[in-house]
Amino acid sequence: MQQRPRRNRKSAAIRSLVRETSLQVDHLIYPFFLVDSKNHKEEVSSLPGNYRWSIDMLLKELEECQKLGLKHFMLFPKIKEEHKDATGSFSYNENNYYLQAAKKIKQEFPDVNLISDVALDPYSIHGHDGIVDNGVILNDETVDVLVDMSIAQAEAGFDMIGPSDMMDGRVGAIRQGLDENGFSNTSILAYTAKYASAFYGPFRDALDSAPVDDPNIPKDKKTYQMDPANKSEALIEAEQDELEGADILMVKPALHYLDVIQTLKKNTNLPISAYHVSGECAMLIAACQKGWLDYETAMPETLLSIRRAGTDAIITYFAKDYAKMVADGKL
């Protein structure tokens, strides 16, 4: 036998020498759900280990996370019913607790990379990412709101703006709006290939942001989020986002779309991120709770697969657990 591939696997030292992919805590972005409250930390039942936080509690958590080396954080707001309307106008209202929370975080921790969410769904009475008119999601009218929301978020101090809405042309419009308002340094992390996926359930529970049950409101997001069957279309989205000024592209979900990640990585020089979404994490947590899988081996293997497919950055609810394992010398 000329080739015995097992020779490169014969010891931990040699395996470490020839390991092709590494995943560092630097690559991880940790998402948080924020509520307008005080002294509040409430577990999301469909995503164990993840919570709805009030800002006072979250500041302490962020401190702990930073001790573990985490520095990229994404914030998603749960908005009170009384602040929801048809056009999501509370999103750029200066009394929006989400914007105030971002200010506090950046005051206390100027070095963290804080990433926003831009979309109408938390703020809208229908739960759609855009304005709904006679059952149709209006594109250009929505983009105007997204631009106002983005400028307000940049003003609040977010380092990166994260449009998760999938309206056409929004990256370019947001870029222009930011530049014209003195925020040419604020980055755009574009949700480039975001699919109409079944795996967002726990996230919508956490924020109470699912489309409402109403015959005049579309039940799903298929007229703006992508068809899970499509890959070439992801390249069209990527080309657009790149031309429109995105700084980082994203594929979402991650695990079920590793081929899309790989394709995008091959076709752009921009960094690629992937959102390891709530349902993907919840599946693994549930299997581990049942004793069917081992969390400390299955979780890092999962994250590694997303990295191996070609991502630079991974948004995952497992970020802190991974960082803890690294800190404990287990990885």
Active site (catalytic) residues:
194, 252
Least Å distance between CB 52 and ligand PBG?
A: 14
129 binds ligand PBG (CB under 6 A): yes
DSSP label of 169: T
Stretch touching ligand PBG by CB under 6 A, among 82-90, 167-175, 196-204, 304-312: 196-204
Name the helix (H) or strand (E) containing 231. Answer: none
278 binds ligand PBG (CB under 6 A): yes
Residues 81-120, mask of contacts with ligand PBG (x by CB under 6 A): ------------------------------------x-x-
151, 155, 161, 163: CA torsion to nearest 10: -30
Residues 210-239, mask of contacts with ligand PBG (x by CB under 6 A): -----------x------------------
Candidates 75, 277, 309, 325; binder of ligand PBG (CB under 6 A) is: 277
200 binds ligand PBG (CB under 6 A): yes
Instruction: Single out the residue of 129, 135, 116, 318 nearest to residue 226, CA to CA.
Output: 129
Stretch touching ligand PBG by CB under 6 A, among 37-45, 197-205, 256-264, 289-297: 197-205
What do you get for the CA distance between the two ends of the chain, in Å? 34
Burial of 289 (0-12, 13-18, 19+ CB in 10 A): exposed
DSSP label of 227: P
242 binds ligand PBG (CB under 6 A): no
Burial profile 125-160: b = 16 or more Cβ within 10 angstroms, e = fewer: bbbbbbbbeeeebbbeebbebbbbbbbbbbbbbbbb
Residues between 7 and 66 that touch ligand PBG (CB under 6 A)? none
- Give every CB contact of residue 105 below 8 A, 6+ residues apart in sequence: 55, 58, 59, 62, 73, 75, 112, 114, 157
Q: Between 230 and 267, whose beta carbon lies closer to ligand PBG?
A: 230
CA separation for the pair 192, 226 (Å, rounded): 10
Q: Between 189 and 277, whose beta carbon lies closer to ligand PBG?
A: 277
Q: Rule CB under 6 A: which residues touch ligand PBG?
A: 117, 119, 121, 129, 164-165, 200, 203-204, 221, 277-278
